[in-house]
Chains A and B, each alone.
Chain A
Amino acid sequence: MTTTQPGTQHQLVVEMRDITKKFPGVIANEDVTLEVRRGEIHALLGENGAGKSTLMSVLCGLYQPDGGSLHLALHQDELHQIVLRSPRHAIHAGIGMVYQHFKLIPTFSVAENVLLGAEDTPTVLDLKQAGARIKEIGERFGLPVNPEAKVWQLSVGEQQRVEILKQLYRGASLLILDEPTAVLTPQESDALGETMHSLAASGVSIVFISHKLDEVIAYADRVTVLRDGKTAATVDVVDVTKADLARLMVGRDVLFSVEKADADLGADALVLDHVTALGDRSVTAVNDISLTVRGGEILGIAGVAGNGQKELVEVMTGLRTPTAGSITVRGNDLTGKSAIDFIRGGVAHVPADRLGQGLAGNLPLTDNVILKSFRSEPISRRSFLNKKAIHELSTRLIAAFNVLPGNPDAPASGLSGGNQQKLILAREIDATDRLAVGDEPAVLVAVYPTRGLDVGAIEIVRDALLNQRAIGAAVVMVSEDLDELRTLSDRIAVLHGGEVMGIVDPKTTSKDDLGLLMAGERLS
């Protein structure tokens, strides 16, 4: 195997020429061209459904293209045409894919996971020798790991490192990273950026799939933008601005600033008084938190993932019972009540995990639309469901939020992430509309509402949240995106270790100060 080839700077290692891939009813890729140079970080940018994943599936041997050709120079100095018959064949050719959802076995050690499926693994494992080799590869490429550690003990960022190592161990000199930052905290993302740079410096070429403009600009050398299954452009990152990339990606100008009127504060809608709650492992996850959210404002919740956000949201929505303190929703004490009482009491919830919690993927849109309203008229009368009313409501919400494809009888899993989120938002906002009676504002708890969405969908979600604020709802927004928190929120509560480190005004608080709070330091 040839490792680092000190070829010229612009030597191509991958050339995908005029790739076309059709699926029943869609053309996922049409005459797409992608060129990757040795030792470069090449971003593949595009909205959801633009054809990024399909193109990479072709490159890693999962799909056969219907047209076009693939040329590689990973083990050779010159490009030669190749037909990848299978993922195994692609691995042989030097292509390694790191999926967004890791393919690791948590109870196995790092070394065992790396060896799993590797070609030259002997029948009798020599974990010590393999461990040494893993360590050596890790050091060479700047990916320090302990080969004996069990995968479940590792953080998400470290697990990703194991996935990358696994590919390097198998001799990959082209790494494809599928939305690698989607699962990472901002800090871990930056660490990944450094890793990518050191890999590139040692001659590994990287294709990284993304729909986030900031990280493309931060980490990539060049970027190929896909739009509607076609190549929109390939550009050097230094030559373009964020706005240029957004225009290439969406096909029109995108506004990054949000127009927001001053808050018109209403009554106290959600009051948490000295609330403490345990996490899943019976360790205190929410520690003595007091918060008041008023109608007409957006309270942002910032914090590094895993600092009590999940549990706090569950407490706010009745999915977790606090061990101490009280929760009042619109003047009613709901402490110790169950989720159904919170729903009836006026709390809408856009959950973090769309397909895991917010939707039942195999059920049609209609069944998902009535998730919260199936108990009330006209959706059901006595014990019976009213199919006609269900269809009317579904059609109305699908149209109002432009959920595509809008067939109410199709399963929800067929929607893209952005459309899933639109469907959930439509449902939850419809719920707050029903619940907002007179002066009493409804509560909307939105958790990572724009995570994983493309630019177009993000705009819709943000508009919807601001609109709720404008009509007097009390909005709680948990987010990892500090820019988003600062533009949308009226106040930001920063969580660390299950405690509120401070509630700050985004207009007067710098990003650095927010970072300090997130790291657990109180501002003096």
Chain B
Amino acid sequence: MTFPWKFELERRLEVSRWVSWGVPTVSVLVAFFFGGIILSLAGAPPIETYRAMAAGAFGSISEWVDGNFFAVTETLVRATPLIFTGLAVAMAFRMLFWNIGTEGQLVMGAIAGTWVAIYLPDLLPWLPQTRWVYIPIGIIAATIAGATWAFIPAIMKVKLGVDEIISTLMFNYIAILLYQQLYTGPWKDPEGFGFPGSALFPEFTWFPKFSEMPVLNVLGGRIHLGFVLAVLVAGVLWVIMDKTRRGYEVRLLGENTNAAKYAGISVVRNVLFVMILSGGVAGMAGLSEVAGLGHRLQAGLDVGNGFTGIIVAWLAKLRPWSVVIVAILMAALFVGGDQLQISLGLPASISGVLQGAILISVLSGDVFTRYRLKVTRIGVVAPAVGEEA
């Protein structure tokens, strides 16, 4: 007896809107189902756990009515660096330049921002010490630093053919070690009682919090200018990619390098352009973390935001606006996961398991956005000669 059914994947001619949203949604539900089994095995009631996660990430209606948006803002705070790195990765991946180095570019941005905050006021005492001057300078410095850190592997690639996956990855370690060296060594706060970390930034270099802004102050919490900047950057990148000649060149290069060359498009110029953009955006992520949250260079910058950015970009299909949404959902998973530890006393690794289940499920579920499953019943092989089945 042979198995009477045949399963085939059939390519979808057109991916409808329904499918492109429905499939990931179902994937997440499937992940929650399997995650639920794991939770049960770990002794946690699944429904209650998920509810706690959701509340941890987004808060509850009663909290919102009270004007307490702390959970949501924490999620957005967590999402901010992911939006930046997700966008940085998406830009580079669009033209098949495998920038694995956003972690390092982020760190370099933070270093540059720190230098501006701590050393520039003494160097240029005549500069007005206000946010209107120092925040733009910080952004420019961090962008240049991140861009430079991406430019070096890019030029090595186009001039010498050095594989960018290796070079950008290695540049992460250089940047991270430099950063660790700085905050534990030369840039260590002389008044810090020996604790590792730079001096506190002067307040005119801090990113303003929403609580200090009109209208947005209803949200409160730790959320700061960095989130606005990240969404703004997403908009700018969307315009560049979708509306400009440069974006068209990048798209074409990513789809078919030979066709791009045939159209007279310079590979070198576009690789350099995209990597400067990509590194610059990643650099902003670093600045946003130090100028928006800790206000000093200290441990905890190299927590993998650059690498998570790769997952964010991939799940978002390299589309800028989708990066924003995916980054927020990813952050919700992180923040909600932390909550499991705090409110239910579950081991921290449980949230990691759930994150993994969701990612694997969504990534593999992607097959079904492109293909449909076709089940056919196979007739039994006719035994007799010449007989109709």
B-binding residues in A (CB < 8 A): 24-25, 64, 69, 71, 76, 78-83, 85, 317-319, 338-343, 349, 351, 353, 356-363, 367, 370-372, 374-375, 380, 383-385, 414
Contact = CB atoms under 8 A, between A and B. Distances in A.
Interface in B254-289: 255-256, 258-266
Nearest to A318: B264
B10 to A, nearest CB: 8
A384 B245 contact: yes
A349 B262 contact: yes
Nearest to A338: B264
Contacts of B6: 64, 85
Contacts of B255: 360-363
A371 B381 contact: no
Given A69-B388, A81-B387, A81-B388, A371 B263 contact: yes
Contact of B244 (A69, A82, A384): A384
B385 interface: yes
Interface string B243-254: 111111001100
B245 A85 contact: no
Contacts of B251: 363, 367
B378 interface: yes
Contact of B245 (A24, A25, A349, A385): A385
Interface of B: 2, 6, 10, 13, 243-248, 251-252, 255-256, 258-266, 376, 378-382, 384-389
A81 B387 CA distance: 7
B245 A367 contact: no
A375 B334 CA distance: 45
B238 to A, nearest CB: 13
Contacts, number: 103
A360 B382 CA distance: 47
Contacts of A351: 262
B196 to A, nearest CB: 46
Given A81-B389, A384-B243, A356 B258 contact: yes
A473 B96 CA distance: 38
A76 B386 CA distance: 12
Contacts of B376: 64
A360 B261 CA distance: 12
B237 to A, nearest CB: 14
A359 B256 contact: yes
Contact of B262 (A358, A374, A375): A358
Contacts of B260: 360
Contacts of B2: 85
Contacts of A359: 256, 259
Contacts of B266: 338, 340
23 contacts: A24-B13, A64-B378, A69-B388, A78-B386, A80-B386, A81-B386, A82-B381, A339-B264, A342-B264, A343-B263, A349-B262, A356-B258, A356-B259, A360-B255, A367-B248, A367-B252, A371-B259, A372-B263, A374-B245, A380-B245, A383-B244, A383-B246, A384-B243
A343 B263 CA distance: 8
A319 B10 CA distance: 39
